[in-house]
């Protein structure tokens, strides 16, 4: 599909194992079974014992002067715009999910504790297994952009469309509330609950209820469903998405608690997506089953004519446009990915810079909250220099700090420790989706800033690693000087009250708590103060930003 990969990219994006897998915990099967018994089972039991309940759709009154009739142009337009945005959000969300194909209800993300996994692999216990290795392949026919390790491009698509999806929904809801169209969707009596159940019994037992003319009325179950999709799903999606932001979680700890914890929010985000997909499948099926031409006329040209094929033609054109959009999105993903990155940075990067990036992290977690498991990630350095330093317990290590400063220095670990120490217990947020709580001990970056005295034009701090990026080359990342001076921003030599191990970044790793994990450079070799991130590497602010189109500002 118009895609060219270099040999290095092909090795990453096309792994030998591309098996599709869905594995649920036993308790999830039990919950699904109980829900089916309480819905389908009870419906069938009622039908077998008492027969079909009276169809409440038969008692719907004829539309009066104040009742809604038809679908205004704005309703039709926002309906189809929502279809496009939702499709792009779901497909890009699936690509993001597959970079860490496990969902949990706990913050520790310990292998085996996930309630569902989309990988056939169990984490091996006899060797190091990183979160990068655990990622799975997804077909570009399903995910956007698809393949493996494309979370950077997937996030560009996802976050580019979130503001417009919410804006489109807001326009739709405001229009509903300013007209009588809200009467279609908003229940005005608790009678909707028993009426919706009666309609459900008809559907569940394969007896189609009387279909009201959707030009004027929905049956109780339809109204109940539409109300949920319009007024419940979007706030849940928005709040659960916000709860996964490190900037928000580290300042407003009550937000993820709305869902139990941060991983609970991620699971709810997925379940909302699943709800949208299930609704869409049922919705489209019922449109086709209850009069396709008439229903398409309702939502395209706003008329109630079962014989006019115009709505079908317009619908076919919309489907063709949808297919073209999917093909174009794939082409853009691989032929113009930098354009996507620029657009996302211009829109969301600006929004985040002016809002959540201003939040100052606030301590919350205690020693007893520390995760029993913390995923390892990144490539262990392969350089002889780092191996030699590690072999001597980093006694010969010197941190080089320079750039646009008055007082460049080289400091040993011992000298760094004499400058001071700060301890924090914080949650790590990986861009792949996993999290973990750990204690970090080290030197506040402010102490380094005070020591070297950056020049007035300095806005950015560059952290270079002994390690390499996904496609090779020195790993580095940048942070604004302002973020480096925020609380809990430290150079850590300690994790969970023990010296930092090689796997987690020895001799030094970075912690800047309002950012995602890829910004927290491990195996730090040197630090450079510069005027702008555009003067380093390819000019996008980090190795992942250069090669994988990650965000420069990683607040969410």
Residue-range domain boundaries for the chain: 7-60+73-100+135-356, 363-548
Distance CA 170, CA 172 (A): 5
- For 63, other C-beta atoms within 10 Å of its C-beta total 14
Q: How far is CA 425 from the centre of its chain?
A: 24
Residue closest to 162 by CA, chosen among 241, 97, 230 = 241
Whole-number pLDDT of residue 61: 63
pLDDT tens digit at each of 556 positions of the chain:
556 788 888 989 999 999 999 999 999 999 999 999 999 999 999 999 999 999 887 777 666 676 788 889 999 999 999 999 999 999 999 999 999 999 999 999 999 999 999 999 999 988 899 999 999 999 999 999 999 999 999 999 999 999 999 999 999 999 999 998 898 899 988 999 999 999 999 999 999 888 888 788 888 999 999 999 999 999 999 999 999 999 999 999 999 999 999 999 999 999 999 999 999 999 999 899 888 998 999 999 988 888 899 989 999 999 999 999 999 999 999 999 999 999 999 999 999 999 999 999 999 999 999 999 999 998 899 999 999 999 999 999 999 999 999 999 999 999 999 999 999 999 999 999 999 999 999 999 999 999 999 999 999 999 999 999 999 899 999 999 999 999 999 999 999 999 999 999 999 999 999 999 999 999 999 999 999 999 999 999 999 999 999 999 999 9
Match 């011992």 to its residue by tokens: 414
pLDDT digits (tens, 9 = 90+) for 48-74: 999 999 988 777 766 667 678 888 999
Q: 554 — phi, psi (to 5°)?
A: -110, 65
Residue closest to 104 by CA, chosen among 94, 120, 117 = 117
At residue 490, the 3 state secondary structure works out as strand
Torsional sign, CA 87, 11, 478, 517 = positive
Whole-number pLDDT of residue 62: 65
Between β-strands 399-403 and 524-530, what pairing exists: parallel, antiparallel or unpaired? parallel
pLDDT digits (tens, 9 = 90+) for 323-374: 999 999 999 999 999 999 999 999 999 999 999 999 999 999 999 999 999 9
Write the class of the CATH domain 363-548: alpha beta
Contacts within 8 Å (CB) and 24+ apart, 228-237: 228/275, 229/275, 229/276, 229/279, 230/169, 230/172, 230/173, 230/176, 230/185, 231/173, 231/185, 231/186, 233/272, 233/275, 233/276, 234/166, 234/169, 236/268, 236/272, 237/269, 237/272, 237/273
pTM: 0.94
CATH 1.20.950.20 fits 7-60+73-100+135-356, yes or no: yes
Q: 210 — phi, psi (to 5°)?
A: -60, 125
- 411 strand-pairing partners: 399
């Amino acid at each position: 599909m118009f895609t060219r990969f270099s040999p290095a990219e092909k090795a990453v994006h096309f792994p030998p194992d591309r098996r599709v897998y869905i594995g649920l915990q036993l308790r999830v099967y039990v919950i699904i079974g109980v829900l089916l018994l309480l819905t389908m089972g009870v419906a069938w039991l009622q039908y077998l014992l008492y027969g079909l309940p009276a169809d409440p759709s038969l008692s719907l009154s004829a539309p009066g002067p104040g009742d809604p009739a038809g679908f205004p142009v704005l309703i039709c337009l926002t309906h189809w715009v929502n279809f496009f945005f939702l499709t792009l959000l779901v497909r890009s969300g699936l690509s993001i999910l597959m970079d860490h194909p496990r969902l949990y209800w706990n913050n520790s993300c310990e292998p085996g504790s996930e309630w569902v996994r989309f990988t056939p692999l169990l984490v091996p216990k006899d060797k190091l297994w990183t979160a990068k290795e655990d990622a799975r392949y997804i077909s570009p026919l399903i995910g956007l952009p698809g393949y493996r390790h494309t979370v950077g491009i997937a996030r560009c698509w996802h976050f580019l469309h979130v503001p417009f999806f919410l804006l489109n929904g807001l326009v739709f809801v405001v229009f509903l509330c300013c007209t009588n169209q809200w009467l279609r969707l908003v229940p005005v009596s608790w009678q909707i609950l028993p009426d919706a159940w009666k309609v459900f019994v008809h559907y569940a037992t394969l007896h189609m209820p009387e279909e009201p003319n959707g030009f004027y009325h929905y049956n109780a179950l339809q109204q109940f469903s539409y109300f949920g999709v319009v007024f419940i799903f979007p706030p849940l999606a928005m709040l659960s998405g916000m709860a996964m932001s490190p900037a928000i979680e580290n300042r407003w700890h009550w937000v993820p608690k709305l869902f139990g914890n941060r991983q609970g929010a991620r699971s709810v985000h997925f379940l909302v997506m699943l709800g949208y997909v299930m609704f869409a499948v049922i919705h489209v099926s019922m449109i086709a089953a209850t009069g396709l031409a008439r229903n398409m006329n309702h939502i395209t040209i706003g008329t109630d004519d079962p014989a006019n094929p115009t709505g079908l033609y317009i619908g076919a054109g919309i489907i063709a446009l949808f297919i073209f959009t999917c093909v174009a999105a794939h082409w853009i993903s691989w032929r113009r990915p930098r354009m996507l990155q620029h657009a996302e940075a211009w829109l969301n990067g600006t929004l985040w810079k002016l809002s959540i990036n201003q939040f100052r992290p606030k301590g919350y977690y205690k020693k007893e909250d520390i995760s029993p498991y913390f995923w390892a990630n990144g490539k262990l350095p392969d350089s002889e220099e780092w191996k030699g330093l590690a072999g001597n317990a980093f006694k010969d290590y010197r941190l080089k700090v320079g750039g646009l400063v008055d007082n460049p220095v080289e400091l040993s670990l011992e000298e760094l420790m004499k400058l001071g120490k700060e301890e924090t217990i914080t949650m790590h947020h990986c861009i792949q989706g996993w999290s973990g709580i750990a204690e970090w001990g080290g030197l506040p970056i402010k102490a380094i800033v005070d020591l070297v005295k950056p020049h007035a034009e300095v806005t950015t701090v560059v952290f270079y690693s002994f390690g390499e990026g996904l496609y090779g080359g020195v790993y580095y990342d940048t942070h604004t000087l302002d973020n480096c001076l925020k609380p809990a921003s430290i150079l850590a030599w300690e994790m969970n009250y023990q010296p930092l191990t090689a796997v987690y970044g020895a001799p030094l790793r970075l912690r800047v708590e309002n950012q995602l994990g890829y910004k927290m450079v491990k195996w730090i070799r040197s630090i450079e103060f510069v005027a702008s991130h555009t003067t380093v590497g390819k000019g996008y602010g980090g190795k992942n930003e250069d090669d994988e189109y990650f965000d420069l500002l990683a607040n969410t």
